[in-house]
Amino acid sequence: MTDLEIANLTTPAPIREIAEKLSIAEEELEYYGKYKAKLPLTLINEAQIAQSNLILVTAITPTPAGEGKTTTTIGLVDALNQIGKKSTAVIREPSLGPVFGIKGGAAGGGRSQVIPMEDINLHFTGDFSAIEKANNLLAVLIDNNMQSKKRSLQLDPRKVLWKRTLDMNDRALRNIVLGLGGTNGGIPRESGFNITAASEVMAILCQSKSISDLKERFANIYIGDTLSGQAIFARDLNAQGAMAALMKEAIKPNLVQTLEHNPAIIHGGPFANIAQGTNSILATKIGMSLSDYVVTEGGFGSDLGAEKFLNIKCREAQIAPKAIVLVATIRALKYHGGQTLKELEIENTEALERGFANLDGHLAALKSFGVPVVISINVFSSDTDAEKSLLLDYCEKQGIPAAISEGWAKGGLGCIELAQKVVETTEQNDSKELNFTYQLEDSPFTKIEKVAKKIYGADSVVLTNAAKNKLKRFEELGYSNLPICIAKTQKSLSDDEKKLGRPQGFEVQIRDFEIAAGAGFIIPIAGEILRMPGLPLVPAAELIDIEEDGTITGLF
């Protein structure tokens, strides 16, 4: 059965019943149909947040299909509730790009899903549309100002950094020329589109703590320079008020449910290879205000999602996880041990053992933060008893608690042991402090160097001349004390996607820098990172259809 078919076997509970489990009064809900609701920001309670247990789910370096972080997150939440722990999942919203591209639906899998699956994957409550419109409003205001004879800020068309967005994989829009059509068609210049998840507006939403904070961050967006070299910001176009108005509803997190009718809050969806890769601060804080345990996730492997969650989000929100769940799969470990993707269902204990090096790399990185780790072995039907025993024995020798996770096949029941080990770990952790990888007072280069060495395992960092010049500009603008959000491949611990396992003796090359002044971080760019993906040879979109009665098929 497909994930969609499994999801359709469960009739969702009315969302008011899910809200009751969190002691949310019905009058505080903003209904989006029977099974979805927006939550007011007034639910945030800092005193309750201090008492809640935050659990971060991350993963080893993934295979192209991913290793099941969301499935593990949902299964763990259901299991925690089964053993009597009031628990809520707080996760990201899916982007239509991957939904119609290679991954299909992104709301968990099997018996560990959030529902209504079709709604969550297709438009949901319109948050992505609002982000897209706010982003494109700023783009329109920029071009309108450049066209104006009376109010022009004298922006240099060659130095406008702001691009339009579209929540779709559309490679044809990566690089375009706009403003054609004569004097009334605007100023001709090169530009392009980013996918909505890569927009700074998305990053800002997920870093904001209130509407006023959102508006201030919008005002601080750096859009480019004038012909004389003066920096221009969104506030110079008076854009922040209208942009924030478009986000009036989108800033509120969304309440849905798991297949086992436990609460799930979904909000925001930045990618982790080009942004911070985690849901909003607001959603996490609402979850922590209402639950004893909140399980959340960071995108891709721990070198991306977890590093950014801990160094960027936790620093800004002043929160810290009590435990980290590191999702590992036998298939991914065999892949890092040299087995080809086509042969991952074949037993190979030698490749599995070689792949342990990748697991070690992620464990070393996570231990540097001072947060205890529990390994979740997300199993597949092709995993053999010999392979599972070998991995469990290895974890035991490393002194790291580990549990088999069968959330896909069994839901919460398949994650009971994992839940018990997570509870034991959190109860033994009295620390509320994180060992950040770097200090904000460090120079940007020092921050990059510390992340590259401590998290990736690199020997050194080198900047291209173009990157040095860009960084010098951002330092002149006063951004040296911002956190860093390194954009790199998710396919390797290094910046080279071909280096599997645990690469040794490599340098990280930063070829360029971008600034997300509104979101509040510098973006060093390692390698070629696409902000507008393309569709694969056979897009998932070709399998999706709708019946006469409105039933959607083909999501997986």
Q: Which residues contact 552 (CB under 8 A, 6 or more apart)?
A: 4, 118, 122, 544, 545, 546
Looking up tokens 């070829």 gives: 511
C-alpha 321/C-alpha 370 separation (Å) is 10
77 token code pair: 């939440």
Q: Within its chain, how far is the Cα of 427 from the centroid?
A: 27
How many angstroms separate the CA atoms of 479 and 229, rounded?
A: 17
Q: What is the dihedral of CA 495, 496, 498, 503, to 10 degrees?
A: -60
Among the listed residues 169, 165, 2, 41, the one whose alpha carbon sits nearest the alpha carbon of residue 102? 169
Q: Which of 355, 154, 292, 177 is nearest to 236 (CA)?
A: 154
Residue 17: count other Cβ atoms within 10 Å of its Cβ: 11
The neighbouring-strand residues paired with 510 are 463
Q: Which residues are annotated as a binding site for ATP?
A: 63-70
Q: How far out from the chain centre does Cα 91 lie?
A: 8
Q: Is 376 helix (H, G, I), strand (E, B) or coil?
A: strand
- The phi-psi region of residue 483 (left if phi > 0; otherwise alpha if psi is between -120 and 50; otherwise beta) is beta
CA–CA dist 280, 253 (Å, integer): 8
* Contacts of the segment 535-542: beta carbons below 8 A, 24+ positions apart: 535/100, 535/101, 535/169, 535/171, 536/101, 536/102, 539/100, 539/101, 539/102, 539/169, 540/99, 540/100, 540/101, 540/102, 540/103, 540/104, 541/100, 541/101
Is there a contact between 320 and 372 (Cβ–Cβ < 8 Å)?
no
Q: CA 66: distance to chain centroid?
A: 13
Catalytic residue numbers? 69, 71, 92, 103, 272, 300, 380, 408
Query: Exposed, middle or buried: residue 552 (CB in 10 Å: 0-12, 13-18, 19+)?
Result: middle
Identify the bridge partners of residue 522 per DSSP, sorted by sequence position.
484, 515
The H-or-E segment that residue 392 falls in is helix 385-397
Question: How far, in Å, CA of 495 to CA of 503, rounded?
Answer: 10
Per the structure block, which two tokens stand in for 358?
């990748």
Nearest to 399 by CA among 378, 373, 435: 373
Tokens of 556: 């997986």
> What is the spatial distance between Cα 394 and Cα 416, in angstroms, rounded to a whole number?
21
Enumerate the known binding-site residues. 63-70
